Amino acid sequence: MIFESITELGLSGVYAIRFRRHLDKRGYFVETFRKSQFRVPPLDRHFVGSEFLQCNESFSLAGTIRGLHFQRAPAAEIKIVRCLSGRIFDIVLDLRRDSPTFLQWQGIELSADNGKALLLPQGCAHGFQTLTDEVQLLYMHTAFYEPAVEGGIRFDDPRVGINWPLPATQVSARDQQHPLLPDDFIGIQV
């Protein structure tokens, strides 16, 4: 088994994953993906008919906020996010219309030291704030990036009410221009 632990967080279908580290005097080795391991409970219900198709990496400086991003059908995606260096406050916002945790958010610290990863199901928006300088993230996606179906919600949307741990020092123009959630937002069908 490649997992040391799989913990469902406060949002339905959102998991913190810790991969098993094999330590010795040189450091450690971690296997972070084996298709068959994602086909066992409790993860199997999310991966029916899904494959990881794209992998991205980002590098950010302290205080940077990226997000909140998501993709709609037909390119809705399951995403796994890992922090390879530094520390982040990672956010998941549930946009799934029929979810019991609709419009609730969850934050978790991911770091190179704690070795946790975050698994987000389809229909959730993702964002993060860097807590240290020189943060490197790795993302795995079950759908290709499709600009025509991408969406975003502004990081400081008062309706969402995310408590970012630091002042926002760097936010892209694109992310600053994401809309606020409308009062009549009915969610995403997944």
Domain boundaries, the chain: 51-176
Cα 167 to Cα 133: distance, rounded to the nearest angstrom:
14
- The mean per-residue pLDDT over the stretch 149-166 comes to 96
List the structure tokens of 11: 């949002």
Of 109 and 10, the one with more pLDDT: 109
Region for 154 from its dihedrals, namely left if φ exceeds 0, alpha if ψ lies in -120 to 50, beta otherwise: beta
Cα 97 to Cα 12: distance, rounded to the nearest angstrom:
12
Percent with pLDDT over 90 in the chain: 71
Give the model's pLDDT for residue 48: 66
- Between 22-31, 67-76, 135-144, 150-159, the lowest mean confidence (pLDDT) is in 22-31
Does 58 score more than 90 pLDDT? yes
- What type of residue sits at position 164? W
Is the torsion defined by CA of 92, 97, 98, 100 positive or negative? positive
| pLDDT band at 40; cut points 50, 70, 90 | confident
Question: pTM, whole model, 2 decimals?
Answer: 0.90
Does 36 score more than 80 pLDDT? no
Q: Which of 15, 126, 139, 178 does the annotation list as catalytic?
A: 139
| Whether residue 46 lies in the annotated active site | no
CB neighbourhood size of 106 (10 A): 18
Parallel, antiparallel, or unpaired: how do β-strands 64-71 and 170-171 relate? parallel
Q: Which of 22, 28, 46, 69 does the annotation list as catalytic?
A: 69
| Whether residue 145 lies in the annotated active site | no
Give the right CATH number for 51-176 from 3.90.1170.20, 3.20.20.80, 2.60.120.10, 2.60.40.10.
2.60.120.10
Does 7 score more than 70 pLDDT? yes
